Chain A
Amino acid sequence: MDATELPDSLAEIRDDFLDLEVKERLQLLLEFSNELPELPERYRDHPDLFERVEECQSPIFIVVEVDADQAVHLFATAPAEAPTTRGFASILVQGIDGLTASQVLELADDYPSMLGLTAAVSPLRIRGMTAMLARIKRQVRERAA
């Protein structure tokens, strides 16, 4: 898929990163990390409802909801000691929440490598975010079916 076909939300995040120098991109990732929303009440005491992303270096748990209008809602939690992982999750939450299920399924699998972060955080770490996106798409596929 051509990168220009990204939904506005994700395209905007990508452009925000690409507008910055490599070193400043880390700072923006940290801002995303700090913005990862708290879990809604209904998930706070139910760790069992979350799926752990095994490919990620630090424990990250995600859960996807698809509502009656086929809109996707995404929740994620990761420990404060894992700011990079939190940042990745936060980008996906902000970029994906509210998209339709079919929009999410059509997202480029390599969106994480479009952010210009590979040099700043290393290809290995970016792979963790790619795995996260794959998990999200799989959950959307299951829930939208």
Chain B
Amino acid sequence: MTVAADPSPRFAEFAHPERLVSTDWLQSHLGEPGLVVVESDEDVLLYEVGHIPGAVKIDWHTDLNDPVVRDYISGEQFAALASSKGISRDSTVVIYGDKNNWWAAYALWVFTLFGHSDVRLLDGGRDAWIAEGRAITTDESEVAAASYPVVERDDSAIRAFKEDVLDHLGSPLIDVRSPEEYTGQRTTAPAYPEEGALRAGHIPTAQNVPWARAAAADGRFRGIDELNEIYREGAGLVDGDEIIAYCRIGERSSHTWFVLTHLLGFDSVRNYDGSWTEWGSAVRVPIATGDAPGAAPGR
């Protein structure tokens, strides 16, 4: 780890406190060698409107997804992207973004697929930084190109595919979408574009825990007691569980993956990024509608 972790007592209660930094911490470490700050937003132009001084931009869609195959970029493409942003293999990468770090968590998850070891989130994201009146700028960040090695992406530990989910039915499955999407009233998040699923509903046995419940009103993560109440008491997760989370295209569930893995300390959590846009259109996979999780189909 290149840059020392944020020692804030607020984070100490989490399983992996080194995965979060506060706005105070970031302010005092800006410009420190070894630290690269990355903004990752839903809106592709938001970075250009104003960003944390020195931060670079990585867009979830145009940078992290392969333009042709529905998959993430390759090891070569990731090496080129990281190098162009001044990120080395041993850089401390702090990611922040709009909407409760929704897309920032997605970028962090993709960095983790490539085994980047020191990648953290700014607690509260872009909104918290701006709400506290901290500096933002439209000046172009000076980037000293780095040399990131080509690392093969490892999908085995934290990514689930449709076949994995079929095999998993009966084990904990968390659907992090809105209740309307879960019950089958609609296939898209309220006020979001249609991303094309032919059926509405959820994967049988999945519990509905909308992702944003993990965030407090100020966009920061809730404390450990509240998170335990939501995920352990509410959703019945227990240590040792193997868990798969999904949403619509895998972005909101990256946020939940972060919470379960780094804040609550579950050590076997996978994100099913094919999510509902794949499952809801796939031929002959079982689905359930309504409020109840539904039973795992006999095999």
Q: Is B one of A's binding partners?
A: yes
CB-CB nearest in chain A for B99? A81
User: Is A81 within 8 A of B193, CB to CB?
Assistant: no
User: Would you give the 0/1 interface string for A107-131, flagging 1 where the beta carbon is closer than 8 Å to chain B?
Assistant: 0000000000001111011011001
User: Is B61 within 8 A of A125, CB to CB?
Assistant: yes
User: Is B192 within 8 A of A125, CB to CB?
Assistant: no
The smallest C-beta distance from A22 to any residue of chain B, in angstroms, reads 10
The contact of B46 among A29, A59, A83, A122, by CB within 8 Å, is: A83
CB-CB nearest in chain A for B43? A84
A82 contacts chain B at the CB level, 8 A cutoff? yes
8 Å CB interface, B69-120 against A: 98
User: Is A57 within 8 A of B67, CB to CB?
Assistant: no
Given A57-B42, A83-B45, A122-B59: 4 more A-B contacts, CB < 8 Å: A55-B192, A57-B192, A120-B44, A124-B193
User: Would you give the 0/1 interface string for B180-210, flagging 1 where the beta carbon is closer than 8 Å to chain A?
Assistant: 0000000000111111000000000000000
User: Is B191 within 8 A of A30, CB to CB?
Assistant: no
The smallest C-beta distance from B262 to any residue of chain A, in angstroms, reads 26
User: Is A122 within 8 A of B45, CB to CB?
Assistant: no
The smallest C-beta distance from B293 to any residue of chain A, in angstroms, reads 28
B4 contacts chain A at the CB level, 8 A cutoff? no
Q: How far apart are the CA atoms of A125 and B65 in the complex, in Å?
A: 14
Contacts of B291 in A (CB 8 A): none
Contacts of A33 in B (CB 8 A): 45, 49
User: Would you give the 0/1 interface string for A38-65, flagging 1 where the beta carbon is closer than 8 Å to chain B?
Assistant: 0000000000000010111111000000
B13 contacts chain A at the CB level, 8 A cutoff? no
Contacts from A to B (Cβ < 8 Å): 26-27, 29-30, 33, 52, 54-59, 80-85, 87, 119-122, 124-125, 127-128, 131
- What are 7 A-B interface contacts by the 8 Å CB criterion? A52-B191, A83-B43, A83-B49, A87-B45, A124-B193, A124-B195, A125-B44
Contacts of B193 in A (CB 8 A): 55-57, 124, 127-128, 131
B62 contacts chain A at the CB level, 8 A cutoff? yes
User: Is B62 within 8 A of A58, CB to CB?
Assistant: no
Contacts A26-B44, A30-B49, A33-B45; A121 near B194 (Cβ below 8 A) = no
Q: How far apart are the CA atoms of A121 and B47 in the complex, in Å?
A: 13
Q: How far apart are the CA atoms of A131 and B98 in the complex, in Å?
A: 23
Secondary structure of the B side of the interface?
loop
User: Is A26 within 8 A of B45, CB to CB?
Assistant: yes
Contacts of A81 in B (CB 8 A): 43, 46, 98
- Of the listed residues B45, B48, B192, B195, the one surrounded by the most CB atoms of chain A closer than 10 A to its CB is B45
User: Is B45 within 8 A of A58, CB to CB?
Assistant: no
The smallest C-beta distance from A24 to any residue of chain B, in angstroms, reads 12
User: Is A30 within 8 A of B43, CB to CB?
Assistant: no
Contacts A57-B192, A57-B193, A121-B62; A85 near B43 (Cβ below 8 A) = yes
Q: Which 3 A-B pairs have the closest CB atoms?
A: A122-B61, A83-B45, A84-B45
Q: How far apart are the CA atoms of A6 and B173 in the complex, in Å?
A: 50
Q: How far apart are the CA atoms of A143 and B275 in the complex, in Å?
A: 41
Q: How far apart are the CA atoms of A82 and B48 in the complex, in Å?
A: 11
Q: How far apart are the CA atoms of A30 and B47 in the complex, in Å?
A: 11
Contacts of A30 in B (CB 8 A): 45, 48-49
Q: How far apart are the CA atoms of A26 and B48 in the complex, in Å?
A: 9
Q: How far apart are the CA atoms of A119 and B63 in the complex, in Å?
A: 11
Contacts of A84 in B (CB 8 A): 43-46
The smallest C-beta distance from B67 to any residue of chain A, in angstroms, reads 7
The smallest C-beta distance from A79 to any residue of chain B, in angstroms, reads 10
Q: How far apart are the CA atoms of A59 and B43 in the complex, in Å?
A: 12
The smallest C-beta distance from B131 to any residue of chain A, in angstroms, reads 12
Contacts of A52 in B (CB 8 A): 191
The smallest C-beta distance from A29 to any residue of chain B, in angstroms, reads 6
Contacts of A82 in B (CB 8 A): 43, 46
CB-CB nearest in chain B for A85? B43
Contacts of B67 in A (CB 8 A): 119
The smallest C-beta distance from A137 to any residue of chain B, in angstroms, reads 18
